[in-house]
């Protein structure tokens, strides 16, 4: 990932969905094709809000939704592509291969992977880990670090 967001580990606190969206929008400005972001967080922590902000920061105007049943949603806009994966139901290498995940690495876009803990051992070096933790009704602690 482009180092505009900081060093080995950076922590942010947001106090609303808008704050999480805006943080992701700013982070998107430092991304380049080939970057992979692995999202970690419990259900309802704000992963999809983060994904929407990231897409907005990349100039993508499509409605961003969780790809729970589709496994991957593709978004294109403003010369950028975002491939948004949901690995909730993926377990094991064979299951991961069936998603087309490895093929998307060659697509010259940015990969955003929800439920990355299910495939962590298969994420390539250089992947950026984004952990979203609910710390209150509206507050989130967002930690960004290299894997």
Name the DSSP letter for residue 70.
T
Reported as a single tens digit per residue, the pLDDT across 63-116 is 998 877 778 999 998 889 999 999 988 988 988 998 889 999 988 899 999 999
pLDDT-based confidence at residue 7 (cuts at 50, 70, 90): low
Name the band, by pLDDT with cuts 50, 70 and 90, for residue 147: low
Q: How many residues does the chain have?
A: 147
- Whole-structure pTM over 0.85, yes or no? yes
User: Domain coordinates of the chain in residue numbers?
Assistant: 3-146
Instruction: Confirm if 79 and 52 have CB atoms less than 8 A apart.
Output: no
Secondary structure (3-state) at 82: strand
What CA–CA distance (Å, rounded) separates 129 from 19? 19
137, 143, 144, 146: CA torsion to nearest 10: -140
CATH number of 3-146: 3.40.50.300
Per residue in 17-49, pLDDT (tens digit) is 999 999 999 999 999 999 999 999 998 899 999
- Tokens 């509206």 belong to which residue? 138
Report the DSSP pairing between strands 9-14 and 110-114: unpaired
């Amino acid at each position: 990932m482009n180092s505009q967001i900081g060093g080995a580990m950076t922590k942010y606190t947001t106090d609303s969905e808008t704050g999480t969206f805006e943080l992701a929008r700013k982070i998107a400005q430092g991304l380049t094709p080939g970057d992979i972001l692995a999202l970690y967080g419990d259900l309802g922590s704000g992963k999809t809000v983060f994904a929407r902000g990231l897409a907005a920061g990349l100039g993508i105007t499509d409605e961003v939704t969780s790809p729970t049943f589709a496994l991957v949603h593709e978004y294109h806009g403003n010369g950028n592509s975002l491939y948004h994966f949901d690995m909730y139901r993926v377990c094991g290498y064979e299951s991961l291969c069936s998603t087309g995940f490895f093929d998307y690495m060659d697509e010259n876009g940015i990969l955003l992977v929800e439920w990355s803990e299910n495939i962590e051992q298969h994420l390539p070096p250089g992947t950026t880990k984004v952990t979203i933790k609910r710390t209150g009704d509206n507050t989130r602690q967002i930690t960004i670090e290299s894997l």
